[in-house]
Amino acid sequence: MKNIYLNIYKPNKANLKKAKKNIENNNVIGLPTETVYGLAGNAYSNKSVKKIFSLKKRPLYNPLIVHFKNLKNAKEDVIFNNSFLKLYNVFCPGPITFVLKKKNNSKISDIATSKKKTVAIRFPKHKVARKLLSLVKVPLAAPSANMASKLSSTSPYDVVEEFKNKIKIVLDGGKSKVGLESTIIDLTERPKILRPGSISPKRISKILKKKVKIYKNIKQIKSPGQLKVHYSPGIPVKMSQKRISKKNEALVGFGKKFKKGKKYFNLSKKGNLHEAANNLYTTLRKIKNSGFKSIVVNKIPNVGIGIAINDRLKKASNK
């Protein structure tokens, strides 16, 4: 059988150079970050960015996140404010994305930002992402490395399963530590969370010394990550269920008392919400690939990163 995983490269010096060359040639690569894997290209290049949209089959109205190495680089393209600097100092580099105003003279491709006057920026913590950002000297536009509306990738193997040989190089940064996409906070007006993540609203509110809420007005979509259907494993998902109710169904749960058996998938035996988040996408992928026809999920506590888990499950369960 053909080995489909040949495009996965260890992130040594030679391979990082190869990745750099690809970025310089306006190609896209699979990039590990601490949240999920990204499909990365030069954020300053229309050509590169167009490839990202077309590979993912992502609608052009859904803007990409732009990744920077540090503040000095980001300052070229966006307008900073106090709330941003406060949060940056505590959480960056790390799993948080800031929506800020784009500078008039920014070189970021208008296609990347879907012609908006704002940009979502992030400073990833993963060593490999940081190394590549130092090498390429341009910001990297990188949405999650999955087909639009499907589950994000948390390992290099997931990226290859999504895109096969359409991307020539995926850097192997191991399993993503967080396993869920970054928290997105809009700081262009009164701060609001557009997508919950591992950094909770409570922690953010504490730093900004004001209550920051999750934005729920889906009539006026601010971030298409808020679109109703998203993060879908490709089979029906039902939340807050106690037990399996039909044939070929798998139950996902949490904690020491959770049942054992072929149809039962425990996100964290220790009952740890961070571990559960880390296992969520891997588990949903595994269930789908094992041939189950539907998934039911026990109730997950809606606190801390549990809020982000429930957000993803809710979108995965929408039809």
Closest approach of Cβ 190 to Mg ion, in Å? 25
Instruction: Note whether 7 binds Mg ion by CB under 5 A.
Output: no
C-alpha torsion angle, residues 276, 281, 286, 289 (rounded to 10): 160
User: Of the ranges 53-61, 140-148, 209-217, 263-271, which one interacts with Mg ion (CB under 5 A)?
Assistant: 140-148
Nearer to ligand TXA, 71 or 244 (CB): 71
- Report the residue number, 143 or 253, with the smaller CB distance to ligand TXA: 143
Q: Which is nearer to ligand TXA, 265 or 281 (CB)?
A: 281
- Restricted to residues 278-297, the positions that interact with ligand TXA (CB under 6 A) are none
Amino acid identity for residue 52 in this structure: I
Among the listed residues 162, 181, 249, 311, the single contact to ligand TXA using CB under 6 A: 181
What type of residue sits at position 210? K
Cα separations (Å) of 187 from 8, 66, 100, 104, 112? 37, 15, 6, 18, 19
Q: Toward ligand TXA, which CB reaches closer, 148 or 244?
A: 148
By CB under 5 A, name the one of 35, 48, 97, 144 that touches Mg ion: 144
d(CA 60, CA 50) in angstroms, rounded, equals: 9
Nearer to ligand TXA, 36 or 160 (CB): 36
User: Which position among 116, 175, 263, 269 is part of the footprint of ligand TXA (CB under 6 A)?
Assistant: 116
CA-to-CA separations, 82 to 114, 187, 189, 195, 290, in angstroms, rounded: 26, 10, 12, 21, 49
Closest to 226 in 3D by CA, of 305, 303, 149: 149
Q: What are the counts of helices (DSSP H) followed by strands (DSSP E) for the chain?
A: 9, 15
Torsions phi, psi for 141 (to 5 deg): -80, 125
Where along the sequence are the contacts to ligand TXA (CB under 6 A)? 33, 35-36, 38, 62-65, 97, 99, 113, 116, 118-120, 122, 142-144, 181-182, 184, 194, 222-225
